[in-house]
Amino acid sequence: MNLFTLFLSALLINNVILSKFIGMCPFLGVSTKLSSAIGMGVAVIFVIFGASVLSWALYYYALVPLELQYMKLICFILLIAAFVQFVEMFIKKNSPSLYKSLGIYLPLITTNCAVLYVALDNVTQKYNLIETMVNSIAVSAGFMLVLVIFATIRERLAASDVPEAWKGNPIAFVVAAIMAIAFSAFAGLV
Amino acid sequence: MSTASEKKQGFWREMIYNNPVFGLYLGICSTLAITTTLNNAIGMGIAVIVVLTVSNIVISLLAPITPDEIHIPVYIVVIATLVTVVGMLMQAYTPTLYSTLGTFIDLIVVNCIILGRAEAYASSHNVAESARDGLMMGLSYTFSLIAMSLIRQILGTGLLEFSNPMSNQVIFSLRLIPEAFVIPVFTTQTGAFLTFAVLAAAVAAIKNNDEKKEAAALKAKADAEKAAKAAAAKAAAKPVKEAA
Amino acid sequence: MNILFAILIAGALVGLNVWLYAANKKTPVPEGCENLKPDCRGCGITDCSLRAKVENREEAK
């Protein structure tokens, strides 16, 4: 597949949050402030990229030769958990300033469905290494894009007069519905 | 909070108050994605009930002998193994359902409900209690899925339909809304978000209403006590005055 | 034979997890980052370590 098409469709048309509904938990949790949304977004891009390249390698260099494909779920989730720990430790040691902006979001990412989803998707779609890299960057960039747009809307929403029962998450879902309509217009792009 | 929740410990109350989806916002990803038809909702619900109940049982057995440092990887292995088994069974016996649910079966591993219950409940309770908790949580999750899928399927396609997941034979099919009046947007992503928003707001409204009632009841009780105290004080003061 | 490899791989990954988890715990938090404030109260993941932090802080208040 054309790499550019792959990138665009993973970024906009099949956006993880608005079209596949993956990664909703951090989407609701961290999107109340713009600064946290950016921090979370960058951390997610980094972890998704690293974790999916590692899982790709594990799958094609260990599981396939040994015919252990059925182990992929167990192996990938363990690999992701280990990778997140490693990244957190590495940043703590080497870049305190980076830790200040990203560190707090790293533990949140292990239970982020988006990471596991991308790792599994790369394998089911039979992407090669380059396609895996492009796909994982595009998916996570799409995640960050929606997270940031959503955070700016929610900052305004906090000051508006919302009915009692709709305060907080329910009204956020209405906003997400409207954004999904906007994003569905990208469907004719490719 | 405690007075009313002790009064109404019924099944439905547990379904609404401790509802993991609309009350606590857990496991939203799959709720939004697979609730396009009743079949999907029931299939996913059963898969989650099985995984959640068995993982709660296994983890409550393992918890006392697991060192604290390794409990998270151990829980992850247990849950991922169960999900792999359930996925394989579904692939064998209900292949169409498995292919429509797709990755969402695998993503049960990272479903916040399961690891959350393992950590918060099963690790500190005995086997029977953990099994009951898993079953109840799974049931209220399934209940939420069914509620959402009914709304979306009926408004979006006008049909109420259920088919046998093993053979794909239609068991019943009922047209509730004429084809010219259906609202197809409910089968799309937008419809999923909107339905969820309405149901979540409804649960919040029920909770708010109950809290208000409780607050009013507490206030009335406090007022009555105050009045009684004042009356008692008056009564006590009177004889003193009379004596003076 | 394959089962052996399967157990070996899973065991190795669990070992890796445990080792990294312990090493991460041992690594001190850099200066100035001890009291980072997560802003995640909209989130429902109850087993998250951050959540415990947020809740503790709120109780302390």
Element containing residue B234 per DSSP (H, E): helix B189-243
CA of C16: which chain A residue's CA is closest?
A82
In a domain, A9, yes or no: no
Residue A97 domain flag: yes
| Average confidence score pLDDT of chain B | 85
In chain A, what residues touch C30 (CB-CB under 8 Å)?
Answer: 92, 96, 99-100
Residues in A closer than 8 angstroms to C23, CB to CB, are 85, 89
How many domains does chain A fold into?
1
C54 compared with B35, residue with greater pLDDT: B35
**Residue A104: its chain C contacts at CB < 8 A?**
36-38, 50
Q: Please judge whether A32 and C44 are an interchain contact, meaning their C-beta atoms are less than 8 angstroms apart.
A: no
Q: Which residues of B are less than 8 Å from C18 in CB distance?
A: 69-70, 73
Q: CB contact, 8 Å: A71 with chain C?
A: yes
Please name the residue of chain B whose CA is at the shortest distance from the CA of residue A112: B110
Query: ipTM greater than 0.90, yes or no?
Result: no
DSSP codes of every residue in A81-125 = HHHHHHHHHHHHHH-HHHHHHHGGGHHHHTT-HHHHHHHHHHHHT
Chain B residues within 8 A (CB-CB) of chain A? 25-26, 28-30, 32-33, 72-73, 76-77, 80-81, 83-84, 87-88, 103, 106-107, 109-112, 115, 188-194, 196-198, 200-202, 204-205, 208
> 10 Å Cβ neighbour count for B180?
6
Q: State how far the alpha carbon of B128 is from the alpha carbons of B19, B45, B49, in Å.
A: 21, 21, 15
- Give the torsion sign (CA, B68, A58, B47, B92): negative
Alpha helix locations (H) across A1-105? 3-8, 24-30, 34-58, 72-94, 96-102
C-beta separation of B106 from A73 below 8 A = yes
Task: Tell me the nearest-neighbour CA distance from B75 into chain C, angstroms.
Answer: 11
Give the residue from chain C lying closest to A26, CA to CA: C43
Within an 8 Å CB–CB cutoff, is residue A73 touching chain C? no
Average pLDDT per block of 10 residues along chain A, 190 residues long: 87 89 78 79 90 95 90 91 89 83 74 87 93 95 92 86 86 91 85
> Under an 8 A CB cutoff, do C45 and B74 touch?
no
Closest chain B C-alpha to A177 CA, distance in angstroms: 5
Confidence bin at B4 (pLDDT 50/70/90): very low
Residues of A in contact with C27 (CB under 8 A): 89, 92-93
C1 reaches A (C-beta below 8 A):
no
Of A108, A114, A92, residue with least CA distance to C54 = A108
Residue C40 has pLDDT above 80, yes or no: no
Indicate the DSSP class of residue A61. I
Question: Cα separation of B18 and A120, whole Å?
Answer: 32
Instruction: Record the tokens describing residue A94, joined without a space.
Output: 């080497």
Host domain of residue A148: 20-185
State which amino acid sits at residue C24. Answer: N
Express the helix, strand and coil content of chain A in percent, nearest 5 each.
Answer: 80, 0, 20
Q: Is residue A2 part of a domain?
A: no
Residue A44 lies in a domain: yes
User: Tell me: the pLDDT tens digits for B135-178?
Assistant: 988 998 999 999 999 999 999 999 888 888 888 788 888 888 89
Contacts of C46 in chain A (CB under 8 A): none
Q: Which two tokens stand for residue B127?
A: 């086997």
Q: Which pLDDT score, from 0 to 100, does residue B196 have?
A: 93
Q: Does C14 touch chain B (CB under 8 A)?
A: yes
Contact B28 A167 (CB under 8 A): no
Distant-in-sequence, close-in-space partners of A3: CB < 8 Å, separation ≥ 6: A130, A131, A134
| pLDDT confidence of residue B1 | 38
Token pair listed for A141: 């960039």
Reported as a single tens digit per residue, the pLDDT across B96-131 is 999 999 889 999 888 878 887 888 888 888 999 999
Q: What are B214's two structure tokens?
A: 């409780």
As a 3-state breakdown, chain C gives helix, strand, coil percent values, each rounded to 5, of 60, 0, 40
CA distance C52 to C57: 9
Residue labelled with tokens 């030769």:
A65
CB A71 within 8 A of CB C9: yes
In the predicted model, is pLDDT for residue C47 greater than 70? no
Chains that touch B (3 or more CB pairs under 8 A): A, C
